[in-house]
Chain A
Amino acid sequence: MIELTVSRLNKRFGGNHVLKDVSFEVNGAEMIGLIGPNGAGKTTLTNVLDGAIKPNSGTVYLNGTRIDQLPSFEVAKVGLGRTFQITRSFRRMTVLENLYVPALALGKSHKGDDVKEQAMEVLEFLTMAHLRNEYARALSGGQQKLLELGRLLMLDPDIIILDEPFAGVHPKLMEVIYEYIRRVNERGKAMIIISHQMDSIFALCKRLLVLDYGDLIADDTPENVKNDPVVIEAYLGTTEDRTGTGERDDEMRPADV
């Protein structure tokens, strides 16, 4: 039974309060959509859960293990995997090598056949078996996205956070990604999907979390969220002052000349 408990998570960047007392729970193989306007703190939340940045306060437990102070590689081993908003495949490694990385990080050996078999299975599933020896940089953007999903399958985490999995993907590959999400969910994995494509989110998820400027303003079924005045206000209401650093916090600015 998968159990992710996030309680009273706070994150500030300097003066920016990017996450304000965010609490929620994931129980079992849920399919959850995480939405919110730009700068709402979605990516920051992902980064905090994943261990890439440490929260200022609050705790995160995954299956009884406290993960909010662990470095990201340990979080991955405890069972939380994520993709990135911009695709981050290992470009100068072959597709198979890309898949080996998480498997070997879990301590498996690539000398044995089972890892290779597993990788081939994943590739068949992603319709990429013929590309196994290609360098990742030779793949299209959509295929790289699939490869990233494939790496997550090799890591085999209990809970997967997908950051904008549909952005910039060819409609043909979109079908594969839908299928992937359904199948992975059927295997008993929980999923949190961040996306701006509402129709996809509404089609896939039974539960939505809505972040607005660091506040978790809704946690409900899609139908209720759609009619929630607070959410409508957040999306359509005040458009000024959405300058939280959540969305692109890792971007650096050049110094002045």
Chain B
Amino acid sequence: MNRQRVPHLLGVLIVAFFVAFPFVYSGGNYDYIMHICIIGFFYAILASSWSMLAGYAGQFSFGHMAFMGLGAYTTALFCHYFFISPEPTGICTEFAIGDQYLIIKNAIGVTSTTLTQDCLAQAMDKWNGTVEVTRMPVWLGVILGALVGGIFGLLIGLLVLRLRAAYLALFTLGFSEILRATISAEIQITRGQAGLELPSLFENGITIAGHFFSKTDKIPPYFVMLFLLLACLAVLYWLSQSRFGLFVRALREDQDAAAALGVNTTRYKVMVFVVTSSMAALAGTVYAHYVTIITPNNLMILQMSLVVAMAVIAGVENFIAAAIGAILIEFTLEMLRTSFSIGGVTIDMTLWRLVFFGVLLMLTLRFARNGLLAPLIDYFRRGHVAAETVVRRDNGGPGSDDPEASTDRQGAQA
């Protein structure tokens, strides 16, 4: 069999496995395993879009989790404050749309769960159940979240145009910290550390092919997240195969040279920020609706380090490797959660697993710079090149003792 086909075949097999998995698997910990899968897909979206940003375009941003949080908080706030009612309340901010009213609840912060004092609750008290108020549809929040992520991606992309390497990392880190601090501090609106509750993806359950799934059922969110992952991978694949992928890699290698060859570097740099941040935001919205609560801690640097580590360990220059790696690592991390004791000494694996993870990250960076999975894929995809290389070396190929080669390298780092 042609070796180049192997990755494609494996890819199809993996997708088929994950599609069939919920119906085939029947362990006692079904919900738990499904949950890990969903979270794994979530990280896979983040890791693969980050690998497009960092690995392909060379923009090592530490703000990816912030975009995720932006998306999540957008939909959370949207679902929390916006309602539709057939009757005006008279006390809320409201707009007439046709014969319906768009109602914006007033922000009264943490207490709104215990004291039903917001204007809508008061109005509903008055109506005494005669008027039915509907929430905003979840899908609208999801779309809004992705949009907001994209818009902020555009802004950040424009702002960081002139920044390189270390400065870019610091700037994006700063952005993410400001966002987190703002969310923690504006308790009135975001409820701070207490977090915002959201409706789940299918609040009233959903019936697919005659089977009813309740809102706590894992199968619908599983497939939503899986679909989202596959869609993101498809978009990333399409982008990477089109001129977009070629150009962002060229500008990663040498921005000035790419511009001199006619590549509009500004446009592609901003575009890659927009695309990847709206993907992160999209993942964030679905994740938020799945776990039904979002707190500022989701934006913490630890979360970002997980995404970075997943992408790097699997191979940051290959988004498919990053996605698979993220799922595998999420599984491994969960499996390693159980603590055990040797000779009376209890090993708290919840912490030690992260130590191993960190060591693995450093060792991968040090000894396998392209990650652990990406070289495998590359091996199959570029198998035919090896033979040619041998031929070339026999013909007295490139002189590695050429002094030019080493000076070039310095220049190309810019």
Contact = CB atoms under 8 A, between A and B. Distances in A.
A93 B249 contact: yes
Contacts of A84: 256-257, 260, 411
A50 B407 contact: no
Contacts of B246: 93, 97, 100-101, 104, 110
Given A93-B250, A141-B408, A82 B260 contact: yes
A140 B405 contact: yes
A144 interface: yes
Interface of B: 243, 246-247, 249-250, 252-254, 256-266, 317, 382, 384-385, 388-389, 391-392, 395, 397-400, 402-405, 407-412, 414
A128 B79 CA distance: 60
Contacts of B258: 73, 90, 101
Contact of B262 (A52, A105, A169): A105
Interface stretch (A1-9, A28-36, A129-137, A210-218): A129-137
A92 B412 CA distance: 11
Contacts of A155: 261-262
Contacts of B400: 140
Interface string A135-162: 0001111111100000100010000000
Contacts of A73: 258-265
Given A87-B404, A142-B402, A52 B249 contact: no
A161 B23 CA distance: 64
A101 B408 contact: no
A95 B316 CA distance: 21
Of B389, B399, B412, most buried by chain A (CB within 10 Å of CB) is: B412
B398 A133 contact: no
Contacts of B265: 73
Contacts of B414: 250
Of A86, A88, A169, most buried by chain B (CB within 10 Å of CB) is: A88
Contacts of B384: 133
Interface size, A (range) = 35 or more
Nearest to A108: B243
A152 B265 CA distance: 18
Of B257, B259, B261, B391, most buried by chain A (CB within 10 Å of CB) is: B261
A82 B411 CA distance: 16
14 contacts: A71-B264, A73-B263, A76-B261, A77-B262, A86-B411, A90-B257, A91-B412, A101-B246, A101-B263, A102-B261, A130-B388, A134-B385, A142-B402, A167-B404
Nearest to A252: B414
A97 B247 CA distance: 10
Contacts of B391: 130
Given A84-B260, A106-B262, A139-B398, 10 more contacts: A89-B257, A97-B246, A105-B247, A130-B391, A133-B388, A142-B402, A144-B405, A151-B261, A168-B403, A168-B404
Interface in A153-186: 155, 167-170
A39 interface: no
A173 B400 CA distance: 15
Nearest to B407: A86
A45 to B, nearest CB: 15
Given A86-B411, A133-B384, A92 B253 contact: yes
A145 to B, nearest CB: 8
Given A133-B384, A140-B397, A140-B399, A52 B260 contact: yes
A44 interface: no
B253 A104 contact: no
Contact of A91 (B253, B397, B399): B253
B250 to A, nearest CB: 5
